[in-house]
Structure 1
Amino acid sequence: MSSKQGGKLKPLKQPKSDKKEYDEADLANIQKKKEEEKALKELRAKASQKGGFGGAGLKKSGKK
Protein backbone atom coordinates (compact mmCIF):
# COMPACT_ATOMS: atom_id res chain seq x y z
CA MET A 1 0.00 0.00 0.00
CA SER A 2 2.22 2.78 -1.22
CA SER A 3 0.21 5.95 -1.28
CA LYS A 4 1.40 9.46 -2.04
CA GLN A 5 -1.08 10.83 0.48
CA GLY A 6 0.63 9.52 3.60
CA GLY A 7 0.98 11.85 6.56
CA LYS A 8 -0.52 15.31 6.96
CA LEU A 9 -2.16 17.11 4.10
CA LYS A 10 -0.78 20.51 3.24
CA PRO A 11 -3.24 23.35 3.79
CA LEU A 12 -4.54 25.07 0.71
CA LYS A 13 -2.84 28.36 -0.05
CA GLN A 14 -4.95 31.40 0.70
CA PRO A 15 -5.18 33.99 -2.05
CA LYS A 16 -3.31 37.18 -1.25
CA SER A 17 -5.68 39.83 0.00
CA ASP A 18 -5.81 43.09 -1.89
CA LYS A 19 -4.79 46.31 -0.19
CA LYS A 20 -7.80 47.90 1.44
CA GLU A 21 -8.69 51.40 0.46
CA TYR A 22 -9.55 53.59 3.45
CA ASP A 23 -11.49 56.81 3.43
CA GLU A 24 -10.66 59.78 5.67
CA ALA A 25 -12.89 58.62 8.55
CA ASP A 26 -11.20 55.19 8.63
CA LEU A 27 -7.74 56.74 8.53
CA ALA A 28 -8.66 59.09 11.37
CA ASN A 29 -9.89 56.17 13.49
CA ILE A 30 -6.75 54.16 12.80
CA GLN A 31 -4.55 57.12 13.74
CA LYS A 32 -6.56 57.69 16.93
CA LYS A 33 -6.17 54.03 17.94
CA LYS A 34 -2.41 54.19 17.37
CA GLU A 35 -2.14 57.29 19.56
CA GLU A 36 -4.18 55.67 22.33
CA GLU A 37 -1.98 52.55 22.23
CA LYS A 38 1.12 54.72 22.43
CA ALA A 39 -0.27 56.65 25.42
CA LEU A 40 -1.17 53.40 27.22
CA LYS A 41 2.30 52.02 26.59
CA GLU A 42 3.89 55.15 28.07
CA LEU A 43 1.63 54.99 31.13
CA ARG A 44 2.50 51.34 31.70
CA ALA A 45 6.20 52.15 31.47
CA LYS A 46 5.80 54.97 34.00
CA ALA A 47 3.82 52.78 36.39
CA SER A 48 6.36 49.98 36.24
CA GLN A 49 9.19 52.37 37.16
CA LYS A 50 7.46 53.60 40.30
CA GLY A 51 6.79 50.16 41.73
CA GLY A 52 3.78 49.16 43.82
CA PHE A 53 1.11 51.41 45.17
CA GLY A 54 1.78 53.42 48.34
CA GLY A 55 -0.55 51.55 50.69
CA ALA A 56 0.80 48.81 52.91
CA GLY A 57 -2.30 46.65 52.50
CA LEU A 58 -3.59 44.40 55.28
CA LYS A 59 -1.27 43.92 58.19
CA LYS A 60 -1.34 40.80 60.26
CA SER A 61 -1.11 41.19 64.00
CA GLY A 62 1.41 39.14 65.95
CA LYS A 63 -1.31 37.75 68.23
CA LYS A 64 -2.49 34.18 67.84
Structure 2
Amino acid sequence: MTGREGGKKKPLKAPKKEGKELDEEDMKFKQQQKEQQKKMDEMKAKAAGKGPLATGGIKKSGKK
Protein backbone atom coordinates (compact mmCIF):
# COMPACT_ATOMS: atom_id res chain seq x y z
CA MET A 1 0.00 0.00 0.00
CA THR A 2 1.24 3.42 -0.89
CA GLY A 3 0.55 6.52 1.17
CA ARG A 4 -1.79 8.05 -1.43
CA GLU A 5 -4.28 5.22 -1.67
CA GLY A 6 -6.30 5.96 1.46
CA GLY A 7 -8.29 9.08 2.24
CA LYS A 8 -9.65 11.74 -0.07
CA LYS A 9 -8.64 11.91 -3.68
CA LYS A 10 -7.31 15.24 -4.90
CA PRO A 11 -9.99 17.01 -6.98
CA LEU A 12 -9.27 17.80 -10.60
CA LYS A 13 -8.57 21.40 -11.48
CA ALA A 14 -11.45 23.25 -13.13
CA PRO A 15 -10.72 24.66 -16.58
CA LYS A 16 -10.01 28.38 -16.70
CA LYS A 17 -12.93 30.59 -17.64
CA GLU A 18 -12.53 32.72 -20.70
CA GLY A 19 -12.84 36.47 -20.32
CA LYS A 20 -16.26 37.50 -21.53
CA GLU A 21 -16.85 40.43 -23.82
CA LEU A 22 -18.26 43.56 -22.18
CA ASP A 23 -21.01 45.38 -24.01
CA GLU A 24 -22.04 49.01 -23.49
CA GLU A 25 -24.49 48.19 -20.69
CA ASP A 26 -21.78 46.41 -18.70
CA MET A 27 -19.39 49.31 -19.23
CA LYS A 28 -22.01 51.82 -18.04
CA PHE A 29 -22.79 49.68 -15.01
CA LYS A 30 -19.12 49.39 -14.04
CA GLN A 31 -18.64 53.15 -14.49
CA GLN A 32 -21.69 53.81 -12.29
CA GLN A 33 -20.29 51.51 -9.59
CA LYS A 34 -16.95 53.34 -9.65
CA GLU A 35 -18.72 56.70 -9.24
CA GLN A 36 -20.78 55.40 -6.32
CA GLN A 37 -17.63 54.03 -4.67
CA LYS A 38 -15.93 57.42 -5.04
CA LYS A 39 -18.91 59.15 -3.43
CA MET A 40 -18.90 56.68 -0.55
CA ASP A 41 -15.17 57.19 0.02
CA GLU A 42 -15.65 60.97 0.05
CA MET A 43 -18.52 60.70 2.51
CA LYS A 44 -16.50 58.40 4.76
CA ALA A 45 -13.60 60.84 4.75
CA LYS A 46 -15.96 63.70 5.56
CA ALA A 47 -17.61 61.79 8.41
CA ALA A 48 -14.30 60.60 9.86
CA GLY A 49 -13.61 63.98 11.45
CA LYS A 50 -16.89 63.95 13.34
CA GLY A 51 -17.62 62.01 16.51
CA PRO A 52 -18.49 58.34 16.72
CA LEU A 53 -21.88 57.42 15.31
CA ALA A 54 -22.62 53.88 16.42
CA THR A 55 -21.04 53.73 19.87
CA GLY A 56 -24.25 54.40 21.78
CA GLY A 57 -26.24 51.79 23.60
CA ILE A 58 -26.41 50.49 27.13
CA LYS A 59 -23.20 50.87 29.07
CA LYS A 60 -22.73 48.49 31.93
CA SER A 61 -20.73 49.38 34.97
CA GLY A 62 -18.40 46.90 36.61
CA LYS A 63 -20.49 46.82 39.80
CA LYS A 64 -23.27 44.33 40.46
Report the TM-score, using the length of structure 1 for normalisation. Answer: 0.61
Which structure would you say has the larger Rg? Answer: 1
Q: Deviations over 1:15-58 (max 9, x none)?
A: 111111011111011110111012112211221222235xxxxx
Percent of residue pairs bearing the same amino acid type: 46
Q: 1:29 to 1:5 in 2, by over 3 A?
A: same
Query: Can you give the 5+ residue segments of structure 1 that lack an aligned partner in the other structure?
Result: 54-64
The alignment yields a C-alpha RMSD, in angstroms, of 1.9
Which stretch of the first structure deviates more once superposed, 2-11 or 22-31? 2-11
- Hey, what does 2:28 align to over in structure 1? 28
